[in-house]
Amino acid sequence: MHFRKKHPAIALPLVAVFLLAALFQGSAAAGEKVKQPATGKKQWKEVNSKSYWYSMRMMRQKIGWARITEKEIKSGDEVRKVTEDVFFMKLNRGGGEILEDTKTSRAVSDPDGRLITYHTESSSPGQESTITRIIRKGEKLIIINTVGATCKAKEVDVPEKFSGELFREFMAKEYKVGLKVSGKVFNTGSQRVIDESYEIIAREDVEWMGRTVEAWVVNMTEKSGLEDMTITVYVTDDEKEAPLKMTIAGGMIAVIRTSEQDAKDLSGDFDAGIEFSVKVSPPVRDPESVRAAKVVLSGAPDAIYEFANQKKTKDLGGGRTEWLFTSPDFSVDNALQIPVAAAEGIEKFLKPTVYIQSDSGKIKEKAKEIIGDEKNALHALRKISQWVYFNIGEKNFSVGFASAAETLKSRTGDCTEHSVLTIALARAVGIPARGADGFGFSGDAFIYHMWVEGYVGKDTWVAVDPALGQPVPDALHIKLYHGDVSPEASLDSTVRILKTLGRMKVEILEIKREGMTEWKKTAPQKKK
């Protein structure tokens, strides 16, 4: 079947919900699912415990709930802070396919917020579990990521500060407008040291649970490797540790404190297929043949960047810019031979990750079978992409985010599964490959999408789209980000995506189809 009718996208913004959930924990330390906090055979006694319920919303519609439990435990004179979280999400991903995802974690830290251990697990029906453990051992952090049967471990130096420490430092201050606390901290979500800050920007009345409450408005900013992401937090003096609400992307995503009954009421039907799409009028027929497009973008000027196949050509004023998007145009005669000798900075795109099991025997065997005796890197990449398109038979949204190994086994998934499997197969035969996140075109709308880029020429990355069966992707791809598929890269890609949520507007002015030399107008031109 032609996959344009059932576009394999609608995957990336969902990451944002659980990213917000992770940040909501204060990026504090966490611990394993055990009765004692992994500190030997000491007997620990619970001395304090309090739970809070939250409603998780996207585009002002309920999509899930969260329960946050804060505890204090003691063993003799030793005290530990424990945070136990449960996040549940349910939404229609388009075509009537419902996705349910549960994320649990248990946090343990010392009274100052120093991490001791961390355990978090995410699971969906019919999908392999994703588990992360972080253990502080002396002057080292042991980080263990597990997806299904794949486990990857690494060791890093204990950072000067953890996010939980900075959060507690901020809470201990006397609140006033202008108060700011910042520093470099270890973030458990992206598993790296980042810049983090808390700043009080206002004190205002907030409508909450049918009444007016005076609250401090705090901007919590996370500086990723690319840019800032700011979460607005509303807190009161008497419960600084339990915000009334948190919002991101201009309020498009929110977590609001409420009752258990209200939090669990998910009677609405949030259709991600509709809410995440960017409508275009008039629609473009046969988009797969479009090789160049002149497009006007507005609404999210800080989210779109220039790349090889997308260049800004004109500033139209009023936040509107004109762009030229083109399909990849790289001659196979200039392609490198495989295995590709990766240049400096490219080596990481040959390595396996917890999601990209390019070192798996089954993936290596399948990759060699697909390319046969092919040595041309571009030919090989396109062979792999097309094999993935034709061999993932169940093209649907039933899977949240599966690894390459699981996808090879299940032959099921959307654009993310097509992409991770293509990346793994490419790396397995020596082609550096990475993911590309952004928008793909479907019918009358741009929809969040993921595809693949391979390093096949000197200083040259060339795209393929395995989910759409396009060895040469059409020009109606708007890229927001490219990089590895790993926990460390998740924050960077999500920040770019969030900047477009509910804001992006697209107008296609002219297109040039394959074999055409003349531009064809598609959108009605405004009178001057």
Q: What percent of the chain has pLDDT over 90?
A: 49
Q: What is the pLDDT of residue 395?
A: 64
Rounded-to-integer distance, Cα 264 and Cα 414, Å: 28
Asked whether residue 153 carries a pLDDT value surpassing 80, the answer given is yes
User: Is the bond leading into 282 cis (omega within 30 degrees of zero)?
Assistant: yes
Rounded-to-integer distance, Cα 102 and Cα 124, Å: 6
Residue 386 and residue 238 share a domain: no
Q: What is the pLDDT of residue 1?
A: 31
Rounded-to-integer distance, Cα 233 and Cα 203, Å: 11
Most confident of 35-49, 83-97, 110-124: 110-124
Q: With CA atoms as reference, report the closest residue to 481 among 524, 517, 438.
A: 438
Paired with 311 in beta bridges are: 324
Q: Which two tokens stand for residue 64?
A: 């899930």
Q: Name the band, by pLDDT with cuts 50, 70 and 90, for residue 387.
A: very high
Rounded-to-integer distance, Cα 212 and Cα 161, Å: 36
pLDDT: which is higher, 367 or 355: 367
Asked whether residue 378 carries a pLDDT value surpassing 80, the answer given is yes
State the CB neighbour count (10 A cutoff) for residue 393. 9
Rounded-to-integer distance, Cα 77 and Cα 100, Å: 42
**In this structure, are residues 90 and 108 in contact, taking their beta carbons and an 8 Å threshold?**
no
Among 245, 272, 299, the domain boundary falls at 272
Q: Name the band, by pLDDT with cuts 50, 70 and 90, for residue 428.
A: very high
Least-confidence region, from 9-13, 42-46, 59-63, 378-382: 9-13
Rounded-to-integer distance, Cα 214 and Cα 217, Å: 10
368-385: average pLDDT = 98
Within 13 Å of residue 67, how many CA atoms lie on the same side as its CB? 15
| CA-only gyration radius of the chain, Å | 24
User: Is the bond leading into 339 cis (omega within 30 degrees of zero)?
Assistant: yes
Report if residue 215 sits inside a domain.
yes
Q: Which two tokens stand for residue 168?
A: 């507690």
Asked whether residue 525 carries a pLDDT value surpassing 70, the answer given is no
Report if residue 209 sits inside a domain.
yes
Least-confidence region, from 14-23, 130-139, 185-194, 454-463: 14-23
Q: Name the band, by pLDDT with cuts 50, 70 and 90, for residue 28.
A: very low
Q: Identify the H or E element spanning 215.
A: strand 211-223
Q: Name the band, by pLDDT with cuts 50, 70 and 90, for residue 27.
A: very low
Q: With CA atoms as reference, report the closest residue to 329 among 480, 472, 528.
A: 472
41-55: average pLDDT = 89
Residue 239 and residue 355 share a domain: no
Report if residue 527 sits inside a domain.
no
**In this structure, are residues 81 and 70 in contact, taking their beta carbons and an 8 Å threshold?**
yes
Rounded-to-integer distance, Cα 118 and Cα 127, Å: 22
pLDDT: which is higher, 281 or 178: 178
Residue 209 and residue 340 share a domain: no
Residue spans of beta strands (DSSP E) within 272-333: 278-279, 290-298, 310-317, 320-326
The pTM of the full predicted model, rounded to 2 decimals, is 0.85
Most confident of 6-10, 35-39, 281-285, 373-377: 373-377
The chain-wide mean pLDDT, for the chain, equals: 85
- CATH at residue 355: 3.10.620.30
Report if residue 4 sits inside a domain.
no
Backbone CA torsion sign across 405, 411, 416, 421: positive
Residue 196 and residue 148 share a domain: yes
Rounded-to-integer distance, Cα 92 and Cα 319, Å: 32
Residue 122 and residue 39 share a domain: yes
Q: What are the tens digits of pLDDT across the range 220-271? A: 998 866 677 889 999 999 888 889 999 987 788 899 999 999 999 987 667 7
Most confident of 107-116, 225-234, 415-424, 436-445: 415-424
Rounded-to-integer distance, Cα 130 and Cα 345, Å: 28
Q: What is the pLDDT of residue 37?
A: 45
Among 205, 238, 272, the domain boundary falls at 272
Q: What percent of the chain has pLDDT over 70?
A: 85
Chain centroid to Cα 57, Å, comes to 17
Asked whether residue 327 carries a pLDDT value surpassing 90, the answer given is yes
Q: Identify the H or E element spanning 450.
A: strand 445-457
Asked whether residue 135 carries a pLDDT value surpassing 60, the answer given is yes
Paired with 290 in beta bridges are: 513
Among 272, 299, 316, the domain boundary falls at 272
Report if residue 241 sits inside a domain.
yes
Report if residue 400 sits inside a domain.
yes
Residue 314 and residue 221 share a domain: no
Q: Which two tokens stand for residue 299?
A: 């609404």
Q: What are the tens digits of pLDDT across the range 71-107? A: 999 998 999 999 899 999 887 766 566 778 888 998 8
Rounded-to-integer distance, Cα 463 and Cα 169, Å: 46
SS3 call for 500:
coil
Cα-based distances in Å from 318 to 16, 293, 321, 526: 28, 21, 9, 15
SS3 call for 448:
strand
Rounded-to-integer distance, Cα 268 and Cα 491, Å: 29
Residue 447 and residue 400 share a domain: yes
Residue 261 and residue 322 share a domain: no
Report if residue 2 sits inside a domain.
no
Express the helix, strand and coil content of the chain in percent, nearest 5 each: 20, 45, 35
25-35: average pLDDT = 38
Least-confidence region, from 76-90, 321-335, 384-398: 384-398
Cα-based distances in Å from 77 to 44, 45, 47, 73, 111: 11, 11, 13, 10, 12
Residue 448 and residue 515 share a domain: yes
When divided into structural domains, the chain yields a total of: 2
pLDDT: which is higher, 393 or 35: 393
Asked whether residue 356 carries a pLDDT value surpassing 60, the answer given is yes
Least-confidence region, from 86-90, 470-474, 499-503: 499-503
Buried b or exposed e, range 260-285, using 16+ CB within 10 angstroms? eeebbebeeebbbbebbbbebeeebe
Cα-based distances in Å from 284 to 159, 324, 369, 445: 51, 16, 37, 9
Q: Identify the H or E element spanning 218.
A: strand 211-223
**In this structure, are residues 307 and 324 in contact, taking their beta carbons and an 8 Å threshold?**
no
Residue 314 and residue 266 share a domain: no
Q: What are phi and psi of 141, to 5 degrees?
A: -105, 125
Cα-based distances in Å from 71 to 46, 82, 188: 7, 5, 20
Chain centroid to Cα 344, Å, comes to 26
Report if residue 526 sits inside a domain.
no
User: Which residue do the tokens 């989210």 mark?
Assistant: 303
Query: Angle at CA 37, nearest 5°, toward 33 and 40?
Result: 120
Residue 377 and residue 346 share a domain: yes
Q: Identify the H or E element spanning 406.
A: helix 404-410
Rounded-to-integer distance, Cα 304 and Cα 6, Å: 26
Asked whether residue 6 carries a pLDDT value surpassing 60, the answer given is no
Residue 226 and residue 344 share a domain: no
Least-confidence region, from 26-30, 140-144, 501-505: 26-30
Q: What is the pLDDT of residue 35?
A: 39
Residue 69: give the domain boundaries.
Answer: 9-272
Q: Name the band, by pLDDT with cuts 50, 70 and 90, for residue 412.
A: confident
pLDDT: which is higher, 126 or 112: 112
